[in-house]
Structure 1
Amino acid sequence: MNSSPYEIAQTRGVAATNSLIRNTYTLLAMTLLFSAATAAFAMALDLRGPGLLLTLVGYFGLLFAVHKLQNSAWGILAVFALTGFMGFTLGPIVGMYLKMFSNGHQLVMTALGGSGAIFLGLSTYALTSKRDFSFMGGFLFAGVMVAFLTGLAAVFLQIPALSLAVSAMFVLLMSAAILYQTSALVHGGETNYLLATVGLYVSMYNLFLSLLQLLGFASGED
């Protein structure tokens, strides 16, 4: 019996979704490894962080490049440039924790393991349950904007308690973002694997940093 046009379209849709998910997670794994390499490079040379302003300019500039080149072969290069830059900025932060706390290695590994476990757990749930989390889009945008501006205020006003509150907010927001972004892959909310990769990477990056700061405050040993 010949398949109906609907069944053919549905089969092609499933194949396209599976290909999108596979490409996204393959590229994500590669960018995480590249980011770890650039972070290790910065730590090996004992480099200082580029500073808040340069970090923001570099991040948003490279993010703009990814969006501009999302349908071009150059887009992959832009993705690696962005994630490599973010890894480079991460190196001095991790190095600071290793120097500042006698149990710094434990803190870093715990934050890394926690981030990985949260990501795998939430991604697996979104992929297997196939629940649509698109309703979270507006909440996430508003929440990230509030947390970002509050974080800037905490930096300029030098209020440690406010920084910790922002870190706790980001743990929750990035966890929700992973659900939202993975759901978008399944339900067609995101069809470009370069943008999907960057979105998931940024969520994991912020999740790791936020967990590291919370762990440093709660169980760091001088």
Structure 2
Amino acid sequence: MIESSNPYASPYTVAAQPVDARSAFIRKTYAHLGGAIAVFALLEYFFLQSQAMLNLVAPMMGNWWLVLIVFMGVSWIASKWATSSTSLGMQYAGLALYVVAEAIIFIPILYLAVGMTGSTVVIGQAGIITVALFLGITAVAFITKKDFSFLNSFLMIGGFIALGLIFASMIFGFNLGIIFSAAMAIFASVAILRDTSNIIHHYGTNQYVAASLGLFASVALLFWYVLQILLSLSGRD
């Protein structure tokens, strides 16, 4: 029987495995995360060059409530597929579905960013800030090795509040503003901390695809709101 210093570990989690197994799981998880981000970036590049794609997503600007509902449904399906214990192919299908869905939902804000600033510089700045925050949060999780699963309740309640405010803003036509974007950037940062902690403590060694999807979702959320903040600041100049 393998002993673990982690009191939360079960015999089936990565935390209960030997060092080489844990290292292999972490490498696979972050390799898949890097691949997902690379595919996302390539899709955005090609989507923004395609007038047909821009015409396709243009109606999204006036129907964000419907887009969010569809995206939530797609996210649920993708998560279910990615956590499949019977098929590795299904896990990859879930990750691929989620990456494509994120790429599509990001088109309007990226197009707006280019239109407002006349270049892709602000998108690059948002990317750099997101990566810097992600690396810092990841370092905290790995250095402290604490289990941050207690944040699940905060994230669940915060997520429902955020969705409520978003839908209310769409129904009543008010702008949530930069303070909401900053709060959501903090929310996404907490989610990254929780997700990274789960990689260390709670996933099984064959769940690296699901782990990478969870991290990708949180990183994408952080990128979205960092970009929103930068666009709000640039609009004040």
TM-score band w.r.t. shorter chain:
0.7 to 0.9
Distance 1:81 1:41, change over 3 A: same
| Corresponding letter in the other structure for 1:81 | L
**What corresponds to 1:67 in structure 2?**
80
| Corresponding residue for residue 182 of structure 1 | 196
Superposed counterparts of 1:87-166, under 5 Å: 87-102=103-118, 104-160=119-175, 162-166=176-180
Do the aligned residues in 2 keep the contact of 1:155 with 1:163 (CA within 8 Å)?
no
Match of 1:132, SS state, is coil
Structure 2 gap segments, 5+ residues each: 5-10
SS at match of 1:198: helix
Q: Kindly indicate whether the alpha-carbon contact (under 8 Å) linking 1:37 and 1:87 is maintained by their aligned counterparts in 2.
A: no
Which of 56, 59, 78 does residue 94 from structure 2 map onto? 78
Please list the CA deviations of residues 160-200 of structure 1 after superposition, one character each: whole Å capped at 9, or x if unmatched: 2x24333122101110111111011112x233222211111
| One-letter amino acid of the structure 2 residue matched with residue 177 of structure 1 | A
Q: In the alignment, what sits opposite 1:35?
A: 40
User: How many residues are matched?
Assistant: 215
CA deviation vs aligned residue, 1:116-139 (integer Å, no higher than 9, x gap): 110111112211221221221111
- Tell me, yes or no, if the aligned pair for 1:43 and 1:92 is still in contact at 8 Å: no
Query: How far apart, in 1, do the equivalents of 2:189 and 2:16 lie?
Result: 31
| Residue type at the aligned position of 1:77 | A
The separation in 2 between residues aligned to 1:164 and 1:117, in whole angstroms, is: 20
1:10-21 correspondence runs (5 A)? 12-21=17-26
Q: Distance in 1 between matches of 2:72 and 2:158?
A: 20
Identify which of 160, 163, 167 aligns with 2:181: 167
- Tell me which of 226, 233, 237 is aligned to 1:211: 226
Shift in Å at residue 20 of structure 1? 2.1
Deviation at 1:36, TM superposition (A): 1.1
* Residues 77 and 94 in structure 2, CA contact (< 8 A), matched pair in contact too: no
| Per-residue deviation, 1:55 | 5.0
State the shift of 1:144 in Å. 1.4
Runs of 4+ aligned structure 1 residues displaced above 6 Å come to 8-11
CA distance in 1, matches of 2:219, 2:81: 23
Quote the sequence identity (%): 27
Q: Per-residue displacement from partner, 1:78-105 (whole Å, max 9, x unpaired)? A: 2112112211221232112101224x53
AA aligned opposite 1:89: I
Residue 36 of structure 2 contacts residue 99 of structure 2 at CA under 8 Å; is this kept in 1? yes
Q: Which of 50, 57, 69 is the equivalent residue of 1:56?
A: 69
Distance in structure 2 (CA, Å) of the matches to 1:149 and 1:100: 28
* Aligned-partner Cα distance in 2 for 1:109–1:144: 27
* Partners of 2:81 and 2:93 within 8 A in 1: no
Q: Which runs of 5+ in 1 are unaligned?
A: none
CA 1:136/1:12 → structure 2, altered by over 3 Å: closer, same or farther?
closer
Q: TM-score, normalised by structure 2?
A: 0.81
